[in-house]
Structure 1
Amino acid sequence: MQMLRNLLIVAALSAPVFAHAGEIAVQGRGVIEKAPDMAVLSLGARFQAFTAQEAMSEVNRRTQAAIRIMEKLGIEPRDMQTGNLYLNPVWERGDNRIDVARIKGYEAGNQLTVRVRDLTILGDALDEMVRDGVNAFNGLRFALQDPSEAMNEARRKAVQDAVAKAQLYAEAAGVELGAIKSFHEGGGGVPQPRFMARAEMAMDTGVPIAAGELSTQATVSIVFEIAED
């Protein structure tokens, strides 16, 4: 029986979990795939003009136009945020290094971050904003409005995976699985895109969008006692 226990410990140590004599240490992993129910857009406007006032006024006009489009499509104010507002001179340099650089105009810019909770309007929203002056697109990512449900499901699967492994090792070694001695949760995975061959989110009008699925994962490390005979 002691030899079986030693062999079992060696098998358990193949995972990055440490075990002592009379223990079975395992790791479990759970993965949940879910379609996203929210998109986060990062876009904005930038414009160059001869004067700072003209450049900033045009950027403000385009930003306000984008906000009005969002409001018309039902986006709530809490889901819109402006940021990264800037106004910089545009320099003109001469042909020679000794020439003094001169300001030939100004560039202004502003960024709008929008959470779109109804994915059916996403394509039309992008299309309308581009037509109305948005000319800086900084990214689109999909997310879950409430990732806790997917994370909890992944945790359950991770524990089930670990218990199943421990039971398998115990059965193969001819010993009885005892109580849990220690339990540790590894780093939970933030939902990540998992691109699938599906295009249900493609719109008949506007910009075509394929949402794919998000992968949420959890890992656990559990040490079980080996029951005494």
Structure 2
Amino acid sequence: MEKGGSPLYYPYVMHHTRPPARIITVTGSGQIEKEPDFIKIQLEVVTENMMASAALQENAERMNRVIEALQQSGIPKSNIQTTSFTINPRYDYVDGQQIFRGYTVTNSISVKVPNGMDAGHIIDTAVQHGVNQISSLQYGIEHENLLYEQALQKALKQAVSKARALAETIQVQLDPKPIKITEDPAYQPGRPEPLLAVSKIASTPIEPGQIVVQASVRVQFQY
């Protein structure tokens, strides 16, 4: 009570407990298949000599022959790109002693072979004109991001269909607008794959098959 005997009054505030959100979580996946638009082949010319200048000169001559032959086979100059060039000394260890064995020069190029062109013939041509190492090949498609977006759309449609089926089964009203959409996981392009060693290549068969672009989503709905 206050001084003077008057009672104190405190307003009563009602607290409403919010019911927990009712959520359905579903996943969806989608994929698009397409024939590759091109193949990227990693070609290397490796030369060795006791003198760096001699190894370098031989390497340059062989690589020039390779590039000229590739262009004569129909590969545009813009589709041939140098990816690495190294000159390294070589050593052996005999009875704990370091023995100098000369120099190794490695020149690597990436060749983009368009779909419809015989990639096996391109490999054979490169080997015949001086390539002595083939490290990898990778299939690729143009405008890959557009195909991924199509796969995402298919994934989302599948997720929506799953959510509707679940809501119908448990007899609840589904809010058609998702409260959360997560890309899960992000798409990663295919990695280059190793090719056969040059010594094993006769008439090289290359079968590209299909590239599969996949997408996955996780979606939450309220009901």
Quickly name the TM-score band, shorter chain normalised.
0.7 to 0.9
Q: C-alpha distance in 2, partners of 1:140/1:35? A: 15
1:177 to 174, 177, 183: 174
Please tell me the root mean square deviation across aligned C-alpha atoms, in Å: 2.1
Q: C-alpha distance in 2, partners of 1:154/1:62? A: 44
Asked whether 1:122 is paired with 2:144, we answer: no
Q: Which piece of structure 1 moves more, 52-61 or 80-89?
A: 80-89
**1:31 aligned partner:** 31
User: Could you say what secondary structure the match of 2:162 adopts?
Assistant: helix
Q: C-alpha distance in 2, partners of 1:138/1:32? A: 28
**1:4 aligned partner:** none
Cα distance change of structure 1 residues 32 and 191 upon mapping to structure 2, 3 Å threshold: farther
In structure 2, stretches of 5+ residues that fail to align are: 1-19, 192-201
Asked whether 1:162 is paired with 2:144, we answer: no
Q: Are the aligned partners of 1:73 and 1:121 in contact in 2 as well (CA < 8 Å)?
A: no
> Which amino acid letter does the alignment assign opposite residue 91 of structure 1?
Y
Q: C-alpha distance in 2, partners of 1:24/1:187? A: 20
2:150 to 129, 141, 153: 153
- The 5-angstrom pairing of residues 179-218 of structure 1 reads 179-192=177-190, 206-218=203-215
> Which amino acid letter does the alignment assign opposite residue 126 of structure 1?
I
Structure (1 or 2) with the larger CA radius of gyration: 2
**1:144 aligned partner:** 141
Q: Are the aligned partners of 1:162 and 1:222 in contact in 2 as well (CA < 8 Å)?
A: yes
**2:48 aligned partner:** 48
Question: C-alpha offsets along residues 37-92 of structure 1, whole Å, 9 cap, x if unaligned?
Answer: 11111111011123211111111112112211222233233322213212222335
- The 5-angstrom pairing of residues 65-76 of structure 1 reads 65-76=65-76
Q: Are the aligned partners of 2:36 and 2:115 in contact in 1 as well (CA < 8 Å)?
A: no
Question: C-alpha offsets along residues 75-128 of structure 1, whole Å, 9 cap, x if unaligned?
Answer: 23332221321222233555x43x5x4434222111111121234231111011
Q: C-alpha distance in 2, partners of 1:93/1:192? A: 39
Cα distance change of structure 1 residues 43 and 220 upon mapping to structure 2, 3 Å threshold: same
In structure 1, stretches of 5+ residues that fail to align are: 1-19, 194-204
Q: Are the aligned partners of 1:187 and 1:218 in contact in 2 as well (CA < 8 Å)?
A: yes
User: Kindly, what percent of the aligned residue pairs are identical?
Assistant: 28
| Poorly superposed stretches of 4+, deviation over 4 Å | none
Judging by fraction of residues, say which structure has more helix: 1
Q: C-alpha distance in 2, partners of 1:219/1:91? A: 50
